[in-house]
Structure 1
């Protein structure tokens, strides 16, 4: 372990010197105010539309609109199923007299992490992870690195540990910046607000038998863990691509295509059941907490965690095999 610490320190210094992490922080600092303003404008629009700041009016109107569309023959059956679930969710929150989107910094952070888990955060992680090994080829430092009296697997392990550290920092920074910036507009309260979780979608019906309330800070921790796990899977897969592909641009292009393809497939693959074993279709882990319809029937939180774990473990195995066995000096 003592021989790993200098290697990890060296990898962390290289990541910092590349300023990729700084770029990620600057992107977050620039975009989060935009999302905060957009959320503020939504609240103002709802106030103008319903003539009141009462969230119940919005939920009742949502129920009316979705119920009307369910009875239309022009709406596809898949959309009807999703809207039936949304109607039941809205009615549940009305019955419990709990605003599911109460305007405060904690709720904004929770909603931002929920929506960023499948595309935004993976892209930020990819920026850091995609050139950990491939950049060593382009700069020529790979030969110097491998001439040291250190096993190859330790070199790659140090890169992996450093990557886990910066993935964690990225997710933490996202949450902290969301809270601090949005709190200026919405206030910094909301930690003890009740949030319901445990919704389960069975077929086209919403099962409420496992639903129970928790304080929002507990829910935020659960959501944070799922976001971190999804980001970690993206990171280890980016590391694998970086080992297999010597060009940084090609590696980033591959991961970018896969992540964007996942966003598109999630909205299109409901009838392609085999697609549920693709890693990019399983990224929206936070949706399972809120009772949203899964992209494909048969998917649930346990299933998605298992699928992502298998992809992540396979990526780590392939990375270490390729790095230790391939002739990467030529």
Structure 2
């Protein structure tokens, strides 16, 4: 098995897709760093004061003004009410949720990329693990070896999981290293609030507690890895089912984009909470953001995603071990 996994990793590196993905991350992080720097600079010039309390008070006023609009949709009104309660809680307890620093940038970056950007990068790495060999005919040569089919497929899947870990690690390293040049590398011990629990239009704060930012960031990256693992597994299943890599990427791209749209539109469609793409924003449970559908929780989303991943693996191994190769 070790030799099989090593062989699959060599194939991945020869295709240079992982290197391209890392280069994409290395190009995007400076772009987002500059955008955040300009935003902080503009806010400071607008307020004429670097005090974060002034900025947070201004955000509270802006949120209240938006809530006063009669044209606001119910979904956005619910989200803004929860956001307003959270902002007020931070202000009342003297906690700056946006203190500058590389750890803060890492936290904000993964929160905004967990539902689309990072899953897309994982999809690119996983889309042709099997389909490219099926369409190119090299799978026939691989299956002539005295190795059981399930072992061959398992080696590919283990290589995929290692690739997912490499991508998440690259995101953590590059976002910290590059953003630290602008914002500094401190802030790991800054206290952050977690434990918010949205319920309807209310924000329950009974379980709110302070944790150091390093622990907060570690939890978020753990959830990011989990999401990437699920998306990678489903892409892996499609790569087994379809001979066309373009078809695999097209289906997953459509699903991920649809999930990003549905998350803002499905509050009244309760059964949509069982779709994997509606459950990808796991970091929202840590920060206390409103859920797309009332009643969803971290445990529920983790279970739904695990069920989809398990189903995808079962289908992939069942098809690969039984299907005729021609």
Output one character per residue of 1:187-207: Cα deviation in whole Å (capped at 9) or x when no partner: 000110001111100111101
1:75 aligned residue: 72
Superimposed CA distance per residue, residues 28-52 of structure 1 (whole angstroms, 9 cap, x where no aligned partner)? 1111100000000000110111111
Q: How far is the alpha carbon of 1:114 from its aligned partner?
A: 1.0
Equivalent of 2:146, from 145, 149, 161? Answer: 149
- Give runs of aligned pairs for residues 178-189 of structure 1, distance below 5 A: 178-189=175-186
Match of 1:254 among 234, 237, 251: 251
**1:312 counterpart = 2:309:** yes
Alignment gaps of 5+ in structure 2? none
For 1:102, the equivalent position in structure 2 comes to 99
Q: How many residues align?
A: 326
Structure 1 length as normaliser, TM-score?
0.97
Are positions 1:29 and 2:26 aligned together?
A: yes
The corresponding residue for 2:48 is: 51
Distance 2:242 2:65 in 1: 52
Q: Deviations over 1:140-167 (max 9, x none)?
A: 1100001110000000000111100010
User: What's the Cα RMSD here?
Assistant: 0.9
SS of the residue 1:10 aligns to: helix
Over residues 39-69 of structure 1, what are the superposed CA-to-partner deviations in whole Å (9 max), with x where a residue is unaligned? 0000011011111111111211121222233
Matched, 1:190 2:219: no
The 1-side partners of 2:240 and 2:304 are apart by 22
Contact 2:196/2:288 (8 A) holds in 1? yes
Unaligned runs of 5+ in 1: none
Q: Secondary structure at the match of 1:213?
A: strand
Deviation above 6 Å: which 4+ runs of structure 1?
none
Deviations 1:273-304 (A, max 9, x none): 11110000000000010110001111111110
Between the aligned partners of 2:146 and 2:133, the Cα distance in structure 1 is 18
Deviation at 1:139, TM superposition (A): 2.2
1:156 and 1:243 mapped to 2: Cα distance?
9
Name which of structure 1's ranges 87-96 and 233-242 shifts more when overlaid on structure 2: 87-96
Alignment of 1:1-330 (within 5 A): 4-327=1-324, 329-330=325-326
The answer (yes or no) to whether the contact 2:123–2:231 under 8 Å persists in 1 is yes
TM-score (norm 2): 0.98
Aligned to 1:206, the other structure's residue is in SS state: strand
Distance 1:64 1:298 in 2: 29
| Structure-1 separation of matches of 2:78 and 2:248 | 38
Residue 72 of structure 1: how far off its partner (Å)? 3.0
**Worse overlay, 57-66 or 155-164:** 57-66
